[in-house]
Amino acid sequence: MPGKRLKVAVLLSGGVDSSVALRLLHAAGHSCTAFYLKIWFQEDFENFWSECPWDEDLKYARAVCDQVSVPLEVVHLSDEYWNNVVSHIISEYRSGRTPNPDVLCNTRIKFGAFLEAIKNMDFDYIASGHYACVLHSPYDKRDESSILALSKEMVKDQTYFLSHLSQVQLRRLLFPLGCIPKDEVRKLAALMDLPNKDRKDSQGICFLGKVKFSEFVARHIGEMEGILLEAESGDYLGKHRGFWFYTIGQRQGLRLPGGPWYVVEKDTQNNVVFVSRNYFSLEKRRRSFRVGSLKWISASPPEKYDKLRCKVRHGPGFYDCSITLQPSDLIKDDVAIVHLSADDQGLASGQFAAFYRDEICVGSGVILDSAVDKNFPVCAKALEIARMDDKSKLGKPVKIINQDISIKEVENSSVKCYLSSEDSKLQQN
């Protein structure tokens, strides 16, 4: 819109990125109104803190706006967040999958429910502090599609979290930081003397603030004690708080000696988590997987499905990939088989895979499962133990000596009935 002073709604979180985005738009002469989104768990967890966790965010947001006399409005989207994000997350975790709250928050709340809430306020665009580029068609060619492209800041690039947006949503968006490296954003914050110029970046999941993810899961799903088994041997290694606290490929939080250990499979029916120290061995390749809930940003699939690139998580890493569509009569959405150029051991059902043609994000889908081996190869003994009704018969966990010695000391003889005769002889020795 050449020569026009735009009316822009700016999502302001209280952090440095969105604050710099606001100030850049204001400095460019546009009419800005800032909006702070206040949602469910900020009240739900209020008893966890001496003061509300969003008070500090809102304080900084107001201070940034007051510097340049930009109005700030607080939008309450508690019901929308619960119905469209939280309830879905809880359902997915209970089913043993690992959803991505940040992708859902962008599509369903920030650029979903919020756009609906301000639809009668005649804003030309909605802006945020995301690290991504939106390329809009010229004003005289408004029927052409807008494009989502990689930012100049590859480490911070957030196109992965925006990859499930629709064309209708993308056409309304501005990302002023898309062409600015993160260190330059910090310099701009200092130059503008922003009240939050020295504030640390948020590292948590979308809108969780000070609430730890484990606290969120425990609060809304609960805890249920289960066991950890070594996938290759069936050895009983310890207990866990519930399979929903773990995701495939997870390394942190297992608290097992002699590692590193990785979560390789989950038995959701029996609440058993299988772990392994050989997750990256060659015979356990994970190069092909299925995706569903496909959404193409241009509203239509790419013309060619080869020579694409793929992200299976947020970060600077890509795989070269090709896609094979499999139209399905059983579910409403098509399913695609994704073939990666290299192995990835951290594929988890429920996460998103984002697809790119060169620097352009063309869309994304939800990872369903491996297209080749449905499960990590868990031994028959481990599967048998997992199905035991009374797991107290296992006694104490085996004592792990170290990474290099495969023989483990069994402290309770009741578990020996599940060991092979050869293993028993080794233990006696």
Q: Please list the active-site residues.
A: 105, 206
Provide the β-strand partners of residue 414.
none
CB 124 within 8 A of CB 6: yes
Distance CA 226, CA 330 (A): 34
Question: Hey, what are 298's tokens?
Answer: 């241009």
Residues 6+ apart with CB under 8 A from 328: 334, 335
Distance CA 335, CA 353 (A): 13
User: Regarding beta strands 31-38 and 7-11, do their DSSP bridges make them parallel or antiparallel, or are they unpaired?
Assistant: parallel
Which helix or strand (DSSP H or E) is residue 31 part of? strand 31-38
Residue keyed to tokens 């069936």: 234
CB 369 within 8 A of CB 359: no
| Inter-CA distances, 51 with 42, 55, 408, Å | 11, 7, 49
CB 386 within 8 A of CB 229: yes
Residue 398 DSSP class: P
Distance CA 397, CA 411 (A): 7
Q: Of 116, 364, 398, nearest to 237 (Cα)?
A: 398
Question: Hey, what are 59's tokens?
Answer: 């304080």
